[in-house]
Every structure is written in C-alpha cells, then in structure tokens.
C-alpha cells in the first residue's frame, strides 16, 4: 500500500510518535501550524472520512476522538484547542489516510481559510 501514514504506522518512515495503542497512533505534525500540532489516526488504512463504515467504524471513530481529547489535555491544551479532519481534496486533505489534527497553545480564529 503506497500510503505515507501506513508507512509511519509500520515504522518504515520515522515520525515523532508519542502515543500508540492497538488501534491508533499519534505523532507530531512535521509542519506544525501551532505550538502544539499533532495527528491522531487509526492504524488501519481508511482513505477518507467518506470511507468510514457506520457498521464497523463507530467505536474506532469514538476512540480517535477521546484519544485526541486526552492527548490535548496531556499537552497542556485543557483551556482550549481545535480538532480538524479534512475530507478529500476539496476539504483540504493531502494525505489519504484519515487523521485528526489537534492544534493548541495559540488563539484560534474562525472561519478557517
């Protein structure tokens, strides 16, 4: 599978991983857009949010969200942070393996660009 994040999951490409369990990993974004900017993603390859299965992936999706929340708190972002999931090219997705961005430690603005 020619997928950058699958290669990070299996260790073929290095990344600053700081959390891993049987279902998800988290690592710092290589091009941080905030003092805290990390990604939480499933180990299993799911290309886009459109490919999440209502039948099979509900628990996994919830696990990604609660992991993001816990790690944000552990990174000192308990006063506020932002989560973003871009879907497909039109949604600004550049790596087609779903991932949740978590950004914090600076003021966020709305709407995003």
Contact footprint for Zn ion (CB under 5 A): 3, 5-6, 45, 97
**90 scored as a contact of ligand AMP (CB under 6 A):** no
* Active site annotation includes 99: yes
Question: Nearest 5°: CA angle at 87, between 76 and 42?
Answer: 60
For residues 15 and 46, which CB has a smaller minimum distance to ligand AMP in the complex? 15
The residue from 96, 99, 101, 109 that is catalytic is: 99
Q: In the 8-state DSSP scheme, what is residue 75? A: T
* Span interacting with ligand AMP, options 26-34, 43-51, 52-60, 65-73, rule CB under 6 A: 26-34
> Residue 47 touches which of Zn ion, ligand AMP, none (CB < 5 to 8 A by kind)?
none
Burial class (CB in 10 A: 0-12, 13-18, 19+), 102: buried
Say if residues 104 and 75 touch (Cβ distance below 8 Å). Answer: yes
């Amino acid at each position: 599978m020619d997928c950058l994040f699958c290669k990070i999951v299996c260790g073929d490409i290095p990344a600053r991983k700081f959390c891993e369990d049987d279902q998800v990993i988290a690592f710092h974004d290589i091009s941080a857009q905030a003092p805290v900017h990390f990604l939480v993603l499933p180990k299993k390859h799911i290309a886009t949010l459109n490919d999440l299965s209502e039948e099979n992936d509900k628990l996994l999706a919830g696990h990604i969200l609660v992991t993001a929340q816990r790690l944000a708190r552990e990174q000192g972002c308990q006063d506020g942070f932002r989560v973003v999931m871009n879907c497909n090219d039109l949604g600004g997705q550049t790596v087609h393996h779903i991932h949740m961005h978590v950004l914090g430690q600076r003021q966020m603005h709305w709407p995003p660009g």
